[in-house]
Amino acid sequence: MVLLQWCTLEPSEQGGLAAIRFSSPVRVQTIRIFPSDTKPFAQSPDTVSRTEPDAFLLDIFFNAHPVTGPNSKEKPKPSNALVPTSIAYAGGQRDFAVNMGAEYATRLMIVKGTFQSVSMAIYGDVVSDAPTTPEAYEPQPLPSITATPLPSALDPASARDPTQLARELLKLIPDSPELELPIRLVFCLKPSNDDWDSPDFPYLYANLEDDSTEFDLERAFKLTSRPVADDISSEILHGFAEKVSRCVNVKDKDPSQTYLVASLLCHAACQTPTMARSLLDAIDLQKVFDPSTLEDETTLLRLLHASSNVDVAKHLNTDWFHEVLASISGNPNNEDVVRTAARQLTTRIRSWSILGDALANTQGDFVAAAALLRDIGTEEQSFGIWLESMITHDEVVASLAENPVLPVSLPRLLSHRNPSTLPSQDEFVAFLRAYLGVACVLAVYSWSDSLPDERCRARTLGILRLWQGVDGYREMVNHLLLLKQMTFRLECMTDGDTDDPPTQAAIDSEHILVSLAKTPRAFLRPNFVKTVLNIGTSNLFITDEERASMRQAAFVVDDGFAGAVDEVLRPLERPSTFSSLRTLRVALAYLQRELDEDEESKLLDDFWEEANCSFITALCDLLAPVVDDIRSHFSLLEVPSRRSQDVMAQLFFIADDILQLLIRLLPPYPLPSRALRILTTNVADMFSCADAADMSYSPFSQPAAAAQEARQSCLDLAQILVLQDSEATCGKPGAQVVLRTLLQHGLNSYGLDPTHHLLQVFFLLDSVVPSRDSPEEQRTLWVQRVLPAMLHELWAFCHALDTENKVHFVRRLVELDQGGIGIGEWLLVEEVKDMSQAVQTLLDDSLSDTQRLIAHAQVALFFRFFADVLQSPCATWVIEGLAASEEAPHILATSFLTLLDLNLAPLHFGEVADSIVSSYEVFDNEMRFALVIALWRSLQAPELTVSLLERRLEQSVKILVTITPSYINPSKLTSEIGRLVLDLAEHPVPVEGDAAQSLVSLMEWTVKTASTITRMGELSVLSFGQYSKFQDRLKATLPADWIERLDAASNVLVFGGGEEVPPPATSLSDTVELPVHDLEDILRQHTPTPSTPPRRALNQDVFGLISVSPPTLLRSPAATGLTKTYLNNDFRQLRQSSARANTSRLPSMHVDVGVAMVA
C-alpha cells in the first residue's frame, strides 16, 4: 500500500463537488482525513492540513474501472458507472477503509458534502492493465500476528480496584457525585421527572426521621424510594427499622403486607449496607414469609432483586426459607411463573455463598459463581443492587482485594454452554474484576447520557467500543448492553437529526449496535428487537445493507415460533453470506430458548405441527449443507473462494448450535441407522475441518474460537451417539454403526487432506472407545458385539495410521478387550503378514528403485511399531498372541532370516529381538534359530554398548543350546559364527568380561555339536590368521581357566581360506523422500496398450457350429425359457411362467428357431 494522492479539496461553488483524477487505475484502500493545522508528513514540515468545519458528512463516488486478468484477451470496456460510499467525519485524524475488491479499480474520485475544505491522504495500490512478467517464487515465512494488550488504565482485570476507571470517567462531569449514588439512581430507584428537574438533584435524600402519625409500611416504602445519604448515622437507620417493625403485624397473613416488606428490603438492598442489616435484624421474617403469602409473582420478584444484596441473601439462606420456597415451586397448583420465580430465588440465595467461596477457595465452583453474574446481568434492578454490594460491602471488597493481580487470560464464562476447560481461581478473579469494571463503566455511561454530558458520554462509548474488540471483554460488554435501558439509550443515539454534524459518540454507538447484533442471542431480548426495528435510514456508520440484514434477523424473532421454523427449513444460501447465516443462528437460538423454557416433547410436537417433519431430522438435514460448505473451504480438489472471517466464524457457530441441540435431543430420541451414519460422517468432517481452521486462523480470531467450540461439540455428540441402543438401528448397537462409519470414513477424505483427515477421525474414534472408567456393561457390549463385527475395517484403519497412533490404537483395543476375543493379537498377526509380504517383494529383482525404497520403509515401520508395542507396560499379550498363533512364528522367523540374507537391518531390529528373547521358551526351533541370528547381526549396530553386547551374546548362546541339533543348518550357522567373529573384530566396542566368556561358550558348543553334526566345526568363512588374531584379543581379557577352555575348543575347529569380509548391513529408514515425478509414476495406473487381436483362419466345418438340444429336454416341463426351439403352445406357457417369476428383465421381443438336422 502506497500513498496515491495528497490534497486539500475545496468544493465548487455550484453543486459543492470536488474531484480527484488519478493518472492510472488505482485500487483505493484507505482515506485518511487530517484536522486543521496538523503536519501529516514528518519529511515535509511545510505541508499543513486545512479541514473546515470540524465535523461533516461526505459522499464519495468512485468511477468503476474493470480489471482484467493477465491471460485475458479482451480489453476492458470503458465504464461510466459510479460506486457510492459515505464518510462521517467527526473531527481529529481518522482513517476510513475502502473495500474495492479485486475486480475493479478507479481513475476518478468525486467528493460531495457540506465542507469548506478537507485535507486527505489516499492510500492504495496502482493497478496495471498490462500483464506482468511472473517472478521466481521465493518462499517467505508468514507474518506472526500477536494481540496488542490493553493499556493498564483500560484493563480492570489487572487493577486491584476495578472501579478506578469508572471513577475517573465520572470526574469528567462537573460536580459529579461518587460512583455509588449514580448506580442507585439509574439502575435501582429510578427518580421521577420532578427529581431530575430539581436544582438539588442528585442530592435528594430520603427523610427517614419522619415522625408522621400516619407512618405505615406503605409510607416507609415511599420514603425509601429516594437514596439514603452514605454518611447517615446508624442511630437513624436503627430507629427507622424499629418503626417499620412496629408496623408489621406477624399475625396478619396478608399478602399485601408481605409484598410491602419485600419491597422495603428491595429498596434497602441498594442503599448503604447498614440500612439492610437494620431492617433484617428488626423484622422477624420467618413470621412474615410463608407459602400462603409468598405465592405471588411480584412479591417473589421483589425478593429476587433484594437477594442480589449479599446481606439479604445470607439472612434468607436458612432451612426454613428454603422449605417455604420448595413448597411453592413444588406445588402444581401454582402458576408456572410463580414456581419459576421461587426456583430462581433459591438459586440466587445459594449463589452468593458459592461466589464467596470462589474468592477464598482455589477449588471453588467457578462455573456456578459465573452463572450468578450471567443471571444478574439480565435485569436492571438486580444488577444495580449486586453492583452496590460489590463496591460498598466491606467484606466483599476485602475478599476481592486479598487476591493478587496476575497476568492471566480472561475465560469465557458468560456463554450459554459450559466451558470445555474449568477456569482456575486466578482466572475467575480476573474475570470478576473485569466484569465489575465493565459494569461500573456502563453505570457512568447511563449517568452521563441521562444528564446529559457529551464529553463523558463520548469517552465512555469509545471505551465500550474498544472493549467489544477484545477477547474476554467482548462477552461482558455485549451481555450487559442488552439491559433494557442500555438498548434504549443506543436507540436514541442512532435516532439523530440528519442535519446535525456527526459526532464521535453517535458513530461509536452505531459501531456498538452493529457489533452487538452479531450475537444471535441478543435478538432474543424484546427490547433489542425493538431497537433494531426502529433504526432509521439516515445513519453515520450503519449501511442500508447492514440495516436490512439486522432487520431480517429481528423479524425472525418478531414472527415467533413459525418464523424460526421457516428459517430452519429454508435451504442454505450458497454462497453463504453473513446476513443469511446470522438470521439462521437467530432462529436456532430462538428454538434453543423454547427448548430451555418448555418440555422437549412439547417443542417437538409443535415443530411437527408447523413443519410436518421431525425437528431432529430437520437439524440433521441442516447440518449436512453447513458441513459441506465448510468442507469446500478446506478442500484440496478446488480452489476455495475468498470468504471473510465473519462468514467462516458464523458457519462454525451454526454447526456448533446444531450440534448442541442434537446433544440435548438425541439421548431420548435416537436416530435410525441411515440417519446415524450420515450424522456421524458430518460430525467427523466437522471435527477435521475445525482442527484445520484452528491451524489456519490466528488463535485470537473469531473463526478459531468458533472452530474450537464446534470441535468440542463434535466430541460430546460422538460420545452420545455410541450410547444409542439397538432398537432404532435394526438391532445393531449405536456403537457398532458409529464405529463402522468412522473406520470407513477415515480412509476416504473426499477432498480433504487425507493424512490430516485420517488423524482427526482417529482422535474422534479414540474419544468414543470405552476407557477403564466406562461402565462395565458398555465395555462388554463393545467386546462381545461391536468389535467382532468389524475386524477387517479395524485392520484397514489401523494399517493406515502412523506408527505412534497405531500403537496407541492397539493398546486401547487390548485394554478394552482384556483377552476376551484377542483383538490385539489378531491385529498384530495381520501386521506380521503384511510385513512378510513386503519382505517377499524385496526378493523380486524386477522391483524398481522407488518401489524398493517404499518396501524398505514399510518393513522399517513395522519393526518400529513392533518395538513400541513390545515396550508397553502390559506387553505380555504380544508374546502370548504370537505363541498361540500357528502361522505367526513361522512367518516372523522366515521374514527375519530373509532380511538377514538380504543384508538388511531395520532400525529397531535389535530392540524387537531383545524383547522376544526374554520369552523364547514358548517358541519352536525355527523362531529360536532366527532370534539367535538376529541377535548376532544386531551387534553390528553403531550404537552398541558393552552392556548390550554382553546381554545379547549371553542370550544368544542360552537360546542356541536349546535348539534341537538335527534342525540346525551347519553351513548357515557356521557362516553366521564366522561373520560374528569378523564383526566383533572390527567393532570399536571391546569384547571383554561376560561377552568374552559367552564367545568361549559358543565355541565350546560348536565343537561339542560337531561330534553329532557333520561340518559343524568348519568355520570356512574365517581364515586361521583372522581367528588367531581375534583369539589373542579374547585371551587378553579372560582368566586362565577360560583361556584353557578357549584353546581346547579352538584346536578342534577347522578354518577355511578366509572369504571376503561381508559388507555392513543396509540400515532401513522408516521415512521415504521421493520426487514428485516418482510419486506420480507410482500412483499412476499402468494400463496395457490396447491392440487388435490377430486374425485366424476359420478351419472348422460350418455345420459344426450348430448345437441342438435333445427333444426330450425341449419338451420337459422344467424348461425355463433358455432353449432354442418351441413346440405347440410352449412359447406361451414359458412367457406366463417367466411373468410369474417376478424378474426385472424385459420380455423377449423375438423367437429363435432351431435348425433341423438332415440325416
Strands, E assignment, 70-164: 82-89, 94-97, 104-113, 118-126
CA dist 578 and 644 (Å) reads 9
Q: Among 364-368, 765-769, 1017-1021, where is mean pLDDT lowest?
A: 1017-1021
Average pLDDT over residues 480-492: 94
CB neighbour burial string for 108-131, b if at least 16 within 10 angstroms, e if fewer? ebbbbbebeebbbbbbbeebeeee
What pLDDT score was predicted for residue 1123?
46
> How would you classify residue 338: left for phi > 0, otherwise alpha for psi between -120 and 50, otherwise beta?
alpha
Cα radius of gyration (the chain): 43
pLDDT confidence of 268, banded at 50, 70, 90?
very high
Cell numbers at 712, concatenated:
468440542
pLDDT at 1153 over 50: no
Write down the pLDDT at residue 1100.
52
ω into 575 cis (within 30 of 0): yes
φ/ψ bin of 750: left (φ > 0), alpha (ψ from -120 to 50), beta (otherwise): left
Q: Hey, which residues does 83 pair with through a beta bridge?
A: 62
Contact 50, 113 (CB under 8 A): no
Query: How far, in Å, are 11, 252, 916, 1022 from residue 956 at the CA level?
Result: 99, 100, 12, 20
Which residues, at least 6 apart from 686, have a Cβ–Cβ distance to it below 8 Å? Answer: 623, 627, 630, 655, 659, 710, 711, 714
Contact 652, 620 (CB under 8 A): no
pLDDT band at 1147 (very low <50, low <70, confident <90, very high): very low
* pLDDT greater than 60 at residue 1137: no
* Cell representation of residue 148: 496488542
Of 2.40.128, 1.20.120, 1.10.20, 2.60.120, the CATH number of 2-126 is 2.60.120
pLDDT score, position 1032: 87
Question: Which pLDDT band holds residue 818 (cuts at 50, 70, 90)?
Answer: confident
Please give the average per-residue pLDDT across 795-820, as a whole number: 92
Q: Which residues are paired to 20 by β-bridges?
A: 109
Task: Report, as an integer, the average pLDDT of 1088-1105.
Answer: 61
Specify the pLDDT at position 15.
76
Q: Per-residue pLDDT for 913 more than 70? A: yes
Confidence of residue 1145 (pLDDT cuts 50, 70, 90): very low
- Would you say residue 1094 has pLDDT above 90? no
Please tell me the predicted confidence (pLDDT) of residue 1148: 44
The span from the CA of 428 to the CA of 410, in Å, is 8
Q: What is the pLDDT of residue 306?
A: 95
By DSSP bridging, strand 104-113 and strand 56-63 are antiparallel
* Whole-number average pLDDT of the chain: 87
| 821-859 per-position pLDDT tens digit | 989 899 999 999 999 999 999 998 888 888 889 999 999
**Range scoring the smallest mean pLDDT among 403-407, 905-909, 1140-1144:** 1140-1144
> Contact 542/513 with Cβ under 8 angstroms?
yes
Q: At what angle do helices 823-841 and 791-800 cross, to 10 degrees?
A: 60
Residue 231, number of CB atoms within 10 A of its CB = 6
> What local confidence, expressed as pLDDT, does residue 417 receive?
77
* Cα distance between residue 758 and residue 747, in whole Å: 6
* pLDDT tens digits, one per residue of 651-695: 999 999 999 999 999 888 889 999 999 999 999 999 999 999 988
Whether 451 contacts 174, CB under 8 Å = no
Does residue 300 have a pLDDT over 90? yes
pLDDT in tens, 200-234: 999 999 988 877 767 888 999 999 999 999 889 99
Percent of the chain with pLDDT over 70: 91
- What pLDDT was estimated at residue 1154? 37
Quick: pLDDT tens for 447-485.
Answer: 999 999 999 999 999 999 999 999 889 999 999 999 999
**Averaged over 74-83, what is the pLDDT?**
73
**Ranges of H-type helices in 377-516:** 380-392, 394-401, 425-450, 454-467, 473-480, 484-493, 504-516
Cα→Cα distances 1104→1099, 1111, 1154, 1155, 1157, Å: 11, 19, 14, 12, 11
Strands 94-97 and 17-34, by their bridges, are antiparallel
Give the pLDDT confidence score for residue 1085 in this predicted structure: 62
Specify the pLDDT at position 1105.
45
562-575 in b/e form (b: 16+ CB < 10 A) is ebbbebbbeebeee
Model confidence pLDDT, tens digit, residues 523-549: 999 999 999 999 888 788 898 899 999
User: For position 1106, what pLDDT does the model report?
Assistant: 47
pTM, full prediction: 0.84
> Measured between alpha carbons, how far is 357 from 361 in angstroms, rounded to an integer?
6
Nearest CA-CA partner of 713 in 755, 766, 664, 649: 664
Q: What is the pLDDT of residue 153?
A: 93
> What pLDDT, in 10s, does the model give residues 1023-1038?
888 888 888 888 888 8
pLDDT value, residue 1118: 45
Residue pair 461/506 in contact (Cβ under 8 Å)? The answer is no
Domain boundaries defined on the chain: 2-126, 175-431, 564-768, 908-1067, 1102-1159
Band (pLDDT 50/70/90 cuts) for residue 169 is very high
